[in-house]
Structure 1
Amino acid sequence: MKLFRTRVMSALLLIPGIFLAQAPAKAAEEINTILPDHVIRVGAVNAPPWYQKDLLTNQWTGLVPDVAQAIFKNTDIKIEYVDTQWGTAVAGLQANRFDILGGFNKTPERAKAADFTRPMGAHQMGVLTLDKDTKKYQNWATINNPQTKLAAIDGSAAVTLLQPQLDKAQWIIVPDSDNMQLQMESGRADAIVTNDIQMSQYIQKRHQGTMVIPEPVKEQATNIGLRQNRPKLQAWLDGRLEQLDKDGTLKAIWQKYTHPVNQP
């Protein structure tokens, strides 16, 4: 009888998807236990392409909402978005204003106050300028001088990771993307410092600007942040991200927001 059961199990394993098909149902059941109210509150920063809020409908779109919808697809969990800012996001998690925050880079300082999932993707850091001559932006070392004025979003990877390294440059720290872009367009800043996706989106919409990825290339993984001491939620999210990575869903979502850019 034991030999018969072993053969049956071996045969079942050869049937494509028989156990994989059960995984989503099991995941849906698990998350209902983890979130008994059937609601996940997602912190949202009005910073395209990560998040963008329609002021007329109050609906959120963007890369992070797309990932969130993929994560909770085929579950009974309702996604609710809570306005926040990158610079105050950790405090929002700690105060239980929301449960998770996507597109949130894990840094040593943030890791002291919040937990993080496995990466949901990665992006490269660079500069976007309206200057015709971009030679001085080809290397981070040449950018780091007192004559260079850089605009960045408070709490972003540009500020948390690059500002300490580019300590000789003049930094203009603003709360959101619109203000950051305005600093460059008004001439108060020589360039903005952000990720390749956001720069590509700007060039496509405004039909101006040049994106430069300085040497050495700085690639930054981005994660989902959550309040500390929620191991079951963290493990569930990690499992879903792993599955979405393996089946190509995450790649497809990122490609949606990463388009070829024709630069002057």
Structure 2
Amino acid sequence: MRKFNKLRLVTAACCTAVLGFSYASSTIAAETTWEQVKEAGSLRCGAAIAAPYVMKDPRSNSYSGFFVEMCREFADHLGVEANFVDTNWDNIVAGVQSGRWDLAMALNETPERARAVSFSEPVSFYEVSFLYNKDNPKLSGDVANLEDIDKADITIAVMSGTVQDKAVSESMENANIMRLPGMDETRLAVMSRRADVLADANDTNLLFHHANPEWSVIMTPDPSLAAQGVAFGMNQSTPEADVQELNAFILEKREAGEVDRMIDDAAALAAQQMD
């Protein structure tokens, strides 16, 4: 009987220790997201440039774009200021993992990224398109599918570390892939004819086409290449309740038509900046 009582006491102590550890872990997790953001007074948003999602005015260093506006409005929802942290597409996921920022803006959900970070509901939707110069003799005639540009004498410019980089790398067997650090560099490569084709997000390429209608043509593959949602990325330690709070905020904005309005405003601003 004494042995049994002793065993019960040991078991109870172990259970108490486990419960205490679970409570401590959940407390730590809760403090790593919106509660911590509120205590800091700042929502840090990782900003890699890709119009019209995230843009930056080089003269004023001010940010714009519909993901930027969403970040600001979610910060208002939490009662804090939005703080934008410069990064690039090669490092944006690592910054979420290491806690350098609370949200990664305009992140496409891929299986690889889903193993590294948590994703919100999509804010918008994405696929890869290809823009080229209609006067390029290497692309004369009808360019209708990937086979028409997957040739050994064709160079495709793409932003390094992006979804389009991965999609093009996996889809092309013969074309040369020119990986560059940013959107400006990829566009300049096509404009200067160092590259023949620009692979980018459909919305981004459409803006570039509107700014250069006299020479640019867009080819969008059918079936779609890398079709997916564009969302916020979060550290995987973010509690489910916090993820759902962000999701509810996004769905409310989408259903009210506010996301569409933000996209239209960002597209108009991006077109002005390209003129």
Deviations 1:189-219 (A, max 9, x none): 1110011211122123344411221222233
Number of residue pairs aligned between Structure 1 and Structure 2: 231
Deviation at 1:62, TM superposition (A): 1.3
Counterpart CA distance in 1 for 2:36 and 2:112 is 31
Aligned to 2:5: none
Deviation at 1:56, TM superposition (A): 3.0
**TM-score, normalised to structure 2's length?**
0.76
Match among 143, 146, 170 for residue 140 of structure 1: 146
Are 2:237 and 1:234 equivalent residues in the alignment?
no
Aligned to 1:220: 228
Aligned to 1:181: 187
Deviations 1:229-264 (A, max 9, x none): 1124322211111111211111222233457x9xxx
Q: Tell me, what secondary structure is at the counterpart of 2:189?
A: helix
8 A contact 2:51–2:65 mirrored in 1: yes
Aligned to 2:80: 77
Deviation at 1:37, TM superposition (A): 2.0
Counterpart CA distance in 1 for 2:106 and 2:54 is 9
Are 2:106 and 1:99 equivalent residues in the alignment?
no
Counterpart CA distance in 1 for 2:125 and 2:251 is 14
**Farther off after superposition, 72-81 or 173-182:** 72-81
Q: Tell me, what secondary structure is at the counterpart of 1:94?
A: helix
Deviation at 1:136, TM superposition (A): 5.3
Q: Which structure has greater helix proportion?
A: 2
Counterpart CA distance in 2 for 1:33 and 1:174 is 36
Deviation at 1:38, TM superposition (A): 2.6
Deviation at 1:135, TM superposition (A): 4.4
**Is there any run of 5+ residues in structure 1 with no aligned partner, and where?**
1-29
8 A contact 2:126–2:230 mirrored in 1: yes
Decide whether aligned partners of structure 1 residues 70 and 167 sit closer, same or farther in structure 2, where only a CA change above 3 A counts.
farther
Match among 58, 63, 67 for residue 61 of structure 2: 58
Aligned to 2:264: 255
Deviations 1:66-91 (A, max 9, x none): 22233334541210000000111111
Decide whether aligned partners of structure 1 residues 152 and 136 sit closer, same or farther in structure 2, where only a CA change above 3 A counts.
farther
Which one-letter code corresponds to 2:112 in the other structure?
Answer: E
Q: Tell me, what secondary structure is at the counterpart of 1:55?
A: coil
Decide whether aligned partners of structure 1 residues 256 and 103 sit closer, same or farther in structure 2, where only a CA change above 3 A counts.
same
Decide whether aligned partners of structure 1 residues 62 and 258 sit closer, same or farther in structure 2, where only a CA change above 3 A counts.
closer
Deviation at 1:58, TM superposition (A): 2.0
Counterpart CA distance in 2 for 1:184 and 1:146 is 17
Aligned-residue Cα RMSD (Å) equals 2.3
Aligned to 2:42: 39
Which one-letter code corresponds to 2:223 in the other structure?
Answer: P
Deviation at 1:97, TM superposition (A): 1.2
Percent identical pairs in the alignment equals: 21
What stretches of structure 1 move > 6 A for 4+ residues in a row?
A: none
Decide whether aligned partners of structure 1 residues 227 and 153 sit closer, same or farther in structure 2, where only a CA change above 3 A counts.
same
